[in-house]
Amino acid sequence: MLSTQNAQAADLVIFPELFLTGYPPKDHVFESDFMQRCDQALKELAQKYSQQSFILGTITQSEDGVRCNSAVWIDQGQILASYQKALLPSYDVFFEPRYFKGRKQLFEPVSWKNYKVAISICEDFWFRDGKSSGKYETDPVIEQLEEGCDFLLNLSASPFEEGKSKNRKDLASYYAQKYQTPFLFCNMVGGNDDLIFDGQSFIMSAQGNIQGQAKSFSSDLLLCEFPLSSKEVSVTERDSIADVADALCLGVYDFVRKNQQSKVWIALSGGIDSACVAQLACRALGSKNVKLVFMPSKYTRQMSHDDAHLIAKNLGCSLDVIPISEAINTFEKLLENSFQPEATGTAEENIQARTRSLLLMALSNHHGGLVLSTGNKSEIAVGYCTLYGDMVGALNPLGDVWKSQVYRLSNYLNQTQVAIPDRVYTRAPSAELKEDQEDQDSLPSYEILDAILSLRIEKKYSASEIIAEGFSDETVSKVLDLVEKSEFKRSQSPIILKISSVAFGSGRLYPVARTSYED
Catalytic sites, residue numbers: 17, 85, 122
What CA–CA distance (Å, rounded) separates 38 from 68? Answer: 12
Cβ atoms of 1 and 13 within 8 Å: the answer is yes
What CA–CA distance (Å, rounded) separates 266 from 359? Answer: 11
What CA–CA distance (Å, rounded) separates 483 from 478? Answer: 9
Angle of helix 272-285 relative to helix 302-315, nearest 10 degrees, comes to 10
Closest CA to 158 of 124, 135, 182: 124
Check residue 459 and report its DSSP letter.
T
- DSSP-assigned letters across all residues of 194-241: TEEEEB--EEE-TTS-EEEEPPBSS-------SSPPSPPPP-PPPPHH
End-to-end CA distance of the chain: 53
Tell me the CA distances in angstroms from 171 to 153, 401, 470, 482, 499, one per residue in order.
13, 27, 35, 39, 20
**Residue length, the chain?**
519
Give 14's strand partners: 55
Cβ atoms of 437 and 430 within 8 Å: the answer is yes
What CA–CA distance (Å, rounded) separates 284 from 307? Answer: 22
Phi, psi at 371, each rounded to 5°: -90, 130
Peptide bond into 296 cis (omega under 30): no
What strands, in cross-sheet order, belong to the sheet with 115-121?
110-112, 115-121, 151-156, 183-187, 202-204, 210-213
Tell me the CA distances in angstroms from 415 to 217, 239, 279, 412, one per residue in order.
20, 14, 11, 5
Cβ atoms of 268 and 275 within 8 Å: the answer is yes
Residue 490 CA, distance from chain mean position: 17
The amino acid occupying position 293 is V
Task: Count the neighbouring beta carbons within 10 Å of the beta carbon of residue 282.
Answer: 24
SS3 for 8-50, per residue? HHCCCEECCCCCCCCCCCHHHHHCHHHHHHHHHHHHHHHHHCC
By the 10 Å C-beta count (0-12 exposed, 13-18 middle, 19+ buried), 373 is classed as buried
